Structure 1
Amino acid sequence: METTRSTPCKWDETALLVIDMQNDFLLAKAVVPSVAKVVSLARERGILVIWVVREHDPLGRDVELFRRHLYSNGKGLTMKGAKGAELVEGLKIREGEYKLVKTRFSAFFNTNLDALLKATRIKRLVIVGVQTPNCIRQTVFDAVALDYEHVTVIVDATAAATPEIHSSNIRDMENVGVATPTLQEWTCAAT
């Protein structure tokens, strides 16, 4: 009896990182529908969806040193349990998806993300969310340094404070080999 070996679909080895789509960070509400579309398509394709969020101690003890002063009055960003730490309206974590809490810009820094991805045989990353010069960029550069085979940032499902900041950071990521399709281009590639 002959056995056939099935080749894995490229989506089996792909994870979607949805970064910081939380009330306290979302300056560009226009990006929400694009992120929701990417999440929906990822779910259809069986892509592992990982929701990367910040949740901080109300006293700021786990916040970067340069931002600790913002927590001195108990009103810092993305405090655990606060409305600002919740996902924006229109986005929801489904059963089977993974929530990763980070306390720094990169989703890889001092988290189990790399171990999780390797344990699930992930080789390709698709990244959406905010802010392009901070959490998106740091996560992308760490993914490149960790030798993920293919890193993609969907340009119109990520955002920064201004279009100029966004585009200059996208250009920097392209310069290290990161793919930067539009949502439409990625949607067509996903078929």
Structure 2
Amino acid sequence: MTRKKALLVIDYTNDFVATNGALNCGEPGRAIEDALLQHVTDFDAAGDYIILPNDYHIKDDPYHPETAIFPPHNIGGTPGQDLYGKLADWYAAHQEQNNVYKYNKNRYSSFQNTNLDNYLRSRDIKELYLTGVCTDICVLHTAIAAYNLNYHINVYADSVASFDPAGHDWALGHFKNSLGANVIE
């Protein structure tokens, strides 16, 4: 029996990737677009799940810890929170499919304060493939949560990026060495 699997495309939004994004990770984020979209296309063709956790904030929220750390970004209802580039086009054409799930999250981890774990377990999905931005922030925290929930973790190295090259490299090593993830080069 084939294991069910899901591809998570984490925070691939205008504010994180576009040149005019409020907190963009620069050229590394844009450089992964084609590889990321290829993984999305492959998962869709195989009938596997494509999950799009999307960072969501309220402007100047005094209760959110990121307000003091980062400039305002991914504000709900703004173009900055929309999916970026070719992924936005793909999603527009596929959003009604049963294997595509997009939702908002309000913390680094795609699991924290969301129904992701329930969504995955109800579909008997145990194997996750991670893509998106930023490698050392939201992708990392999602991987740690997945590890703690006993998911099998895979990370596509060609489809994660960060504005911090050292943090990116450190996170790739951490996925493999501390979380037992399969980092696919």
Q: TM-score range by the shorter chain?
A: 0.7 to 0.9
Q: Distance in 2 between matches of 1:157 and 1:66?
A: 24
Aligned with residue 165 of structure 1, among 160, 164, 167? 167
What is the percent sequence identity of the aligned residues? 30
Structure 2 spans left out of the alignment, 5+ residues: 18-24
SS in 2 for 1:90: helix
2:41 aligns to what?
Answer: 40
Q: Is the 8 A contact 1:21 1:129 kept in 2?
A: yes
**1:88 aligned to 2:90?**
no
Query: TM-score by structure 2 length?
Result: 0.84
Q: Which amino acid aligns with 1:84?
A: G
Query: TM-score by structure 1 length?
Result: 0.82
Q: Which amino acid aligns with 1:20?
A: D
1:116 aligns to what?
Answer: 119
Summarize the alignment of residues 25-104 of structure 1 with structure 2, pairs less than 5 Å apart.
25-26=16-17, 27=25, 28-60=29-61, 64-68=64-68, 76-92=72-88, 93=91, 94=94, 95-96=96-97, 97-104=100-107
Q: Deviations over 1:101-128 (max 9, x none)?
A: 1000000101100011001110100010
Q: Deviations over 1:41-61 (max 9, x none)?
A: 110111111111012123425
Q: Deviations over 1:40-95 (max 9, x none)?
A: 11101111111110121234256x32425867xxxx20111111101111113222
Q: Distance in 2 between matches of 1:67 and 1:59?
A: 6
Residue range with higher mean Cα deviation, 85-94 or 131-140: 85-94
Q: Distance in 2 between matches of 1:142 and 1:161?
A: 22
Cα pair distance change 1:142/1:174, threshold 3 Å:
same
SS in 2 for 1:118: helix
1:130 Cα offset (Å): 0.4
More strand, by proportion: 2
Q: Deviations over 1:16-48 (max 9, x none)?
A: 110000011122210111111110111011111
